[in-house]
Chain A
Amino acid sequence: MEENYNKNQPNQYLIPLAIVIAGAFVAGALYFSNSGATANAPVAITDTNQPVAAVPEPTGSTDAVRPVTIEDHIKGNPNAPIKIVEYSDFECPFCKRFHDTMNEVMDKYGETGEVAWVFRQFPLEQLHPVKAQRAAVATECAAEQGGNDAFWAIADGYFADPSTGNNRTNQDVLIPELAAAAGLDADRFNECLESGKYDEHIQADIANAVETGGRGTPWSVMIGPDGKTYPINGAQPLAAIEQLISIATDNQ
């Protein structure tokens, strides 16, 4: 009996050891999730599927967010004290959810001029090949021809369509439909769509998203009235965004 007992002695260390190992894995998970690893740094593509300029190393600092200018796609008051800069992928189902949330935010804070919503492109080529990029180009082409209103008409229409997302969108049907509904000239729009002229612009948006710490979509940076920045990772609920707006407003 004594012999058996001794033989099994190491078992008493098994549980604490297992818990330590589990803790180490969870710590590893935290590290991977929050280190500025280049892991998910997406690479934008051109029409020829060739990677373009290398994406800069993420600094993980939201202060690296590119200043908002009139060239941006802005919903609401461009001079609003709080700006939410969203980097989004049209084929990401979570971006679709967050788009609805942001529309609710704008319904509440947009009319009073408190909040502006700035939309930037972050198509994830590895997860949503070709289609995310094409949708991004379509919105840029819409903006070129019809201005800010046309941009938001296509963006809102794309996300609102229940058939979009997860790279399953029938873009050959949907994009021309949305363009027509926005009153765009079909020939000019199609020519723009195939030209590749916005690849560089989209690449710049992607680069800035990664630079600010974005490793997935939706990724947003809130800029407060005093210029302080706040990272918003993923599709956050309306209550969290409202709380963050309140913090940014109260702590100038």
Chain B
Amino acid sequence: MYRNALQLVFVRPLYCLLFLAVSFVVLSVAILLPHIGLIKTLWQYESVTVIEIGLLVLNLYGSLGTNFTVLSATYTVLIAVLFGLQITLLTHYIRSVRSKATNLANVGASGIGGLVSGFFGIGCAACGTFLLSSILVLFGAGGVLAWLPFGGEEFGLLGVGLLVYANHLLMKKINAPLVCAS
């Protein structure tokens, strides 16, 4: 089922490009999110060239190996790939006639839930620089993190699960035989 659906979509180079572009954007946001302040600062210094900023940003991608745990790096990459796949499959689906005759609520909700949950888990869970810790501490519940077995990284894993489910539903729909509604 999965192979058929993927072949149907990725036979078109444009969809391959879309998949790569969306995955790259999501991964870049996840990795570069903590460094927006530095990039903004450099941008404000007139003497710093765009090339220098570009080189630094390239080097900052290396923080996937230093600023993440093995677990969080793994699910961050997985979330980026799965979300890229989700958008590509959705684009294919929405351009087909079937989108007008079927309900995509489950797919949409799971996909978005996966991305949001994944973003909650992104960052340095151990040392308080990730999004979830900011929100929890905002509500005076920062100590909750210390009690979670993976220190908040559970949300990243949940994100992967939801995106896998959303992609599964979508591929099922793509494979479903086209029938006339009565």
Contacts and interface: CB of A to CB of B under 8 A. Distances in A.
Contacts of B181: 1, 4-5
Interface stretch (A14-22, A69-77, A143-151, A193-201): A14-22
State the majority secondary structure of interface residues on B. helix
B134 A15 contact: no
Contacts of B146: 126-127, 129, 167
A110 interface: no
A49 interface: no
B94 A94 contact: no
Contact of A33 (B62, B134, B151): B134
A15 B56 contact: no
A68 B165 CA distance: 53
A12 interface: yes
B67 A39 contact: no
Contacts of B90: 15
Contacts of B129: 40, 215-217, 233-234
B13 interface: no
Contacts of A235: 63, 66-67, 124
Interface of A: 1, 4-5, 8-9, 11-12, 14-15, 17-19, 21-22, 25-26, 29-30, 32-34, 37, 39-42, 60, 62, 89, 92-95, 97-98, 101, 124, 126-127, 129, 166-167, 213, 215-218, 228-237, 239-240, 242-244, 246-247, 250-251
